[in-house]
Structure 1
Amino acid sequence: MINYDILTRHVWEDNFDEEMSIIRNSVVTNHPVVSLATRFSSCADRVPTGILWGDSAANYSVLLETMERMEKLTQVGLAFSDQKGELPCCSETGRPWVWEFNLTPADEAADPDRKEGLSKGSGGGVGTKKGINPWRLAADLWRCNLLMNDNVIWVVFKGGLDFVALLRWARLSVEGMPTELDEFLRLQRLYFPVCHDVAAALGFHSVLGDDGTIHVLARSLCVRMEEMPPSRPASDSLLALYLFTTMKRLPLGFYMLKHKVNVVFGLTAGEEADYALPTLGNISLV
């Protein structure tokens, strides 16, 4: 692992346009790999929790309920890389960048007189700052040509929560999310035609000490946690990106990614996701 001095760029309403301009004009063209991590205050864990795939329809119902309970601040981490795993860097300092967006809940986003803030020490905010309208973030992702683009590779870890959130915000003219899992998966593959869920590709195994979290899985691949920035969504997006890059470099990693593209952990039908392909849980990668 390269020892990067990584800078987390915290984004609020007052610097949103500036940061999206950097991403749009200086990042996406040469960094088509986008790692995504979403954090809700009402749902600290990934869905499903633990190492078991569970029932896909039941997991989707939990995700829909989580979206309805969107309270306080939601944070979205984005980490970009080129095909070799190199992050975009500041032209002046040479430090690699990742981004963390602080979003206003849907009901407050509709009321411009209400502000959403974080106290000191809870993600980079100092005092009270106004969060970003989530639909505004989605609209700028369109402007960056990141959605419905076969040349963009999305990376997630247990990505159901991430895709439910972005699909809800990206479908600006549509109320709510589809109630049926099959329709959600159709939309997910339409908006994110190439995605890799590293949890689905790698799998888990209790004998290896896996508990279903990204941090324990990372340790099994010797990804060094001390290099992660402290902010959680940005950190998780970067960690998922490092896992993806590590897999591409391992003898069987590329094969596993190729054959489990667009498989979302806990949501894709079990028979489709698990057809006797090797995972970290049942074969050595190195």
Structure 2
Amino acid sequence: MDQVAKKAVVIREVWEGNLEFEFSLIRSAVKSHSCISIDTEFPGTVIPDIKNRKFYDLNPEETYSLMKANVDASKLIQLGLTLSDEHGNLPDFGSGACCVWQFNFREFDVDKDLQEFSSIELLKRNGIDFSANKMHGVRSEDFARLFRGCFGPNCTWVTFHGGYDFGYLTKALTNSDLPRDLGTFRDLLSHYFGISMYDVKAMMEPFRFRGGLESLAACFNLVRVAGKSHQAGSDSLLTMQVFMKVKEWCISRRYATALRPCMPYGLNLEVITHAGRAIDELIGLLQSPGSPVELFKLSAPNLGCLI
């Protein structure tokens, strides 16, 4: 994404008063920038797993059940959208700066609604103004109406560990709780977002990578160029940067398997692994000269880093 490095990036804050105008810009931009990364901010884990299991110990159905319980019980705070063309260029509308969008929603009431205290404090420290959201934020039903008429079937959707991102977005689009079972949820995702979905963390799963977004960005020497972490617009931009770099890296090494569209991380009913490939072959691939994944500090049998 050389353009991001060369040009300033403006995060366009979207409120009730400019919602229609900002969607008009997005409708214009998506014609040539149809790769879309999303990120959401929400009130944390308000319903923990009753068995206190770690995420990696849950199967896809259990992961979905826990996600559904939390999404149903809580409310979306922010949604970030980054639009890109296939080469990583962002829309600039002929100006000197690229654009990323950050939607601020009004439904969450920090004084009344279910929340995880540590998550709310983290969001406050990173600049989210809950009183402004409550007074001037976007109404979910208005957002859903405009969103549904904006994106076509040829769009590509990108997340990082995006189950909750798609969960909250689907809840907004349907104005209802998530479906009871994972299969129906997958059908809803296909209905609203088509079949071209990528979760960058799922793409890295064959390499047993278990770190976060910023950890993977650091492996590729990528830096945050706008906004702060734990703000949805900035995180959606970093997700797009990492996706483009991972895609470039896989293509350059003819590693096509990792580029297959996939369900959000943790919700894959069919997990792609490379058990059939020799461990030393994979290590050689990842440690090839010039590979940024040398920074993973790989060691067999664990191919991951930053766990």
TM-score range (shorter-chain normalised) is: 0.7 to 0.9
Match of 1:163 among 151, 162, 166: 166
Equivalent residue, structure 2, for 1:115: none
Greater fraction of residues in helix: 2
Equivalent residue, structure 2, for 1:23: 26
**Paired residues, number:** 258
Q: Which runs of 5+ in 2 are unaligned?
A: 111-122, 292-307
How big is the shift at 1:123? Answer: 3.5
How big is the shift at 1:224? Answer: 2.2
Change (3 A) 1:119 1:164: closer
Task: State the distance in 2 between where 1:18 and 1:255 align.
Answer: 39
Equivalent residue, structure 1, for 2:248: 249
Whether the 8 Å CA contact 2:36–2:155 is kept in 1: the answer is yes
- Is 1:216 the counterpart of 2:215? The answer is yes
Once the two structures are superposed, what CA deviation does each residue of 1:186-230 show, in whole Å capped at 9, x if it has no partner?
A: 221222221010000012868xxx6531111111122123x2422
SS of equivalent to 1:245: helix
Question: Please, what TM-score do these two structures have when normalized by structure 1?
Answer: 0.78
CA RMSD of aligned residues (A): 3.3
How big is the shift at 1:262? Answer: 2.3
- Is 1:132 the counterpart of 2:131? The answer is no
Amino acid aligned to 1:190: H
Whether the 8 Å CA contact 2:206–2:273 is kept in 1: the answer is no
Once the two structures are superposed, what CA deviation does each residue of 1:104-160 show, in whole Å capped at 9, x if it has no partner?
A: 22799xxxxxxxxx98972478957421112221221111134xx1x1000001111
Task: State the distance in 2 between where 1:220 and 1:53 align.
Answer: 26
How big is the shift at 1:34? Answer: 0.5
- Is 1:61 the counterpart of 2:60? The answer is no
Deviation larger for 137-146 or 122-131: 122-131
How big is the shift at 1:90? Answer: 4.0
Question: Please, what TM-score do these two structures have when normalized by structure 2?
Answer: 0.73
Q: Which runs of 5+ in 1 are unaligned?
A: 109-117
Change (3 A) 1:81 1:69: same
Change (3 A) 1:106 1:224: closer
- Is 1:84 the counterpart of 2:90? The answer is no
Larger Rg: 2
Amino acid aligned to 1:229: G
How big is the shift at 1:233? Answer: 0.8
Once the two structures are superposed, what CA deviation does each residue of 1:145-181 show, in whole Å capped at 9, x if it has no partner?
A: 34xx1x1000001111111112222225xx4221111
Task: State the distance in 1 between where 2:182 and 2:246 align.
Answer: 29
Amino acid aligned to 2:136: K
